[in-house]
Amino acid sequence: MPYLISDTAAGCDGWATVKDDGEVIGCHTTKQAAIDQMVAVSIAEDIEPGGEMRAPAVPKYIQDAARKGLEYNREGLGGDGLTDQTLREARLMADGQVSDDKIIRANAWGARHAVDLQAAKNRDADDPQFPGAGAVAHYLWGINPLDPAPARDWFQRQAEMIQQETDREKPMSIETRELVMQDFEIRQQGDGMSFRGYAAVFNSDSEPLPFIEQIQPGAFRKSLKSRNNIRMYVNHDDTLLLASTRSGTLRLSEDEKGLLTEADLPATTTGRDLAVLLETRVADSMSFGFSVPRGGDMWSPSGDRRTLTEVRLHEVSVVTGQPAYAATSATVRKLAHRTDADPESLALALAALESEDGLTSDQADLLRGIVDILAPKIEEQKQHGLTLAKQMVQLMALQASA
Domain borders along the chain are: 3-53, 60-167, 175-324, 328-401
> Distance (Å, rounded) from C-alpha 348 to C-alpha 8?
49
pLDDT tens profile 332-373: 656 676 777 776 677 677 666 655 566 788 888 888 887 777
Residue 367 or 28, more confident? 28
Residue 48 or 273, more confident? 273
pLDDT score recorded for residue 21:
65
Mean pLDDT of 4-33: 82
pLDDT score recorded for residue 209:
67
pLDDT tens profile 98-122: 887 788 899 999 999 999 999 999 9
pLDDT score recorded for residue 399:
45
Residue 134 or 20, more confident? 134
Residue 352 or 51, more confident? 51
Least confident piece of the model among 35-39, 283-287, 370-374:
370-374
Strand 285-291 to 175-180 pairing: antiparallel
pLDDT score recorded for residue 123:
93
Residue 109 or 190, more confident? 109
% of the chain at pLDDT higher than 70: 79
One-letter-per-residue 3-state SS of the chain: CCEEEECCCCCCCCEEEEECCCCEEEEECCHHHHHHHHHHHHHHCCCCCCEECCCCCCCHHHHHHHHHHHHHHHCCCCCCCCCHHHHHHHHHHHCCCCCHHHHHHHHHHHHHCHHHHHCHHHHCCCCCCCCCHHHHHHHHCCCCCCCCHHHHHHHHHHHHHHHHHHHHHCCCCCEEEEEECCCCEEEEECCEEEEEEEEEECCCCCCCCCCEEEECCCCCHHHHHCCCCCEEEECCEEEEEEEECCCCCEEEEECCCEEEEEEEECCCHHHHHHHHHHHCCCCCEEEEEEECCCCCEEECCCCCEEEECCCEEEEEEEECCCCCCHHHCHHHHHHHHHHCCCHHHHHHHHHHHHCCCCCCHHHHHHHHHHHHHCHHHHHHHHHCCCCHHHHHHHHHHHHHHC
